[in-house]
């Protein structure tokens, strides 16, 4: 019980969806101010990628909740999850966010959308995933190290 009382989770204070919305809103606003078209808008493809992203995020959240974890990254984890999309990616929810950003970039066809994808990747990788991996290593030890060796961070 004392260990559980001290477990404050990975220390991620800004929810990852805030990064997604903030970065892509900034990209959209910059596009309104200075459009740099780099290709045709691929609306149908982008929309399909966005739906794939939503499905991946939903599946990953369902698997987390079924395992007894709160999907919010500021909460401690009750169990290590290796099922569902976690068999292929250690971070399928964040991969879903990147896919959604990619879908938007495809729909827009502009430079700012693709810059948003790159910025979002950097923010999630350094400010969220790095903290979560450090926490999970301390929380689950050798089983997490073995999982890390088997499954890639992103894909």
Q: 16-33 and 111-123 helices cross at what angle (nearest 10)?
A: 160
> For residue 48, what are the contacts with CB-CB under 8 A and spacing of at least 6?
103
Cβ–Cβ under 8 Å, residues 128 and 73: yes
pLDDT score recorded for residue 6: 62
One digit per residue, the tens of pLDDT, for the chain of length 155 reads 444 446 678 989 999 999 999 999 999 999 999 999 999 999 999 999 999 999 999 999 999 999 999 999 988 999 999 999 999 999 999 999 999 999 999 999 999 999 999 999 999 999 999 999 999 999 999 999 999 999 999 98
What's the confidence (pLDDT) of residue 7? 65
* Alpha carbons 20 and 127: distance in angstroms, whole number: 13
Confidence at residue 9, expressed as pLDDT on a 0 to 100 scale: 84
pTM: 0.93
Q: Residue 119 burial by CB count (10 A; 0-12/13-18/19+): exposed, middle or buried?
A: middle
């Amino acid at each position: 019980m004392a260990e559980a009382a001290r477990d404050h989770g990975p220390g991620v204070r800004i929810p990852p969806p805030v990064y997604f919305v903030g970065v892509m809103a900034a990209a959209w606003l910059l596009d309104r101010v200075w459009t740099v078209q780099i290709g045709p808008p691929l609306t149908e493809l982008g929309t399909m990628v966005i739906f794939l992203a939503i499905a991946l995020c939903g599946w990953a959240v369902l698997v987390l909740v079924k395992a007894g974890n709160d999907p919010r990254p500021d909460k401690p984890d009750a169990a290590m999850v290796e099922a569902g999309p976690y068999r292929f990616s250690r971070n399928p929810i964040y991969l879903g966010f990147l896919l959604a950003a990619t879908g938007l970039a495809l729909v827009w066809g502009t430079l700012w959308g693709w810059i948003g994808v790159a910025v979002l990747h950097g923010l999630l990788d350094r400010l969220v995933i790095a903290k979560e991996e450090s926490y999970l290593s301390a929380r689950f030890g050798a089983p997490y190290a073995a999982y890390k060796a088997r499954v890639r961070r992103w894909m």
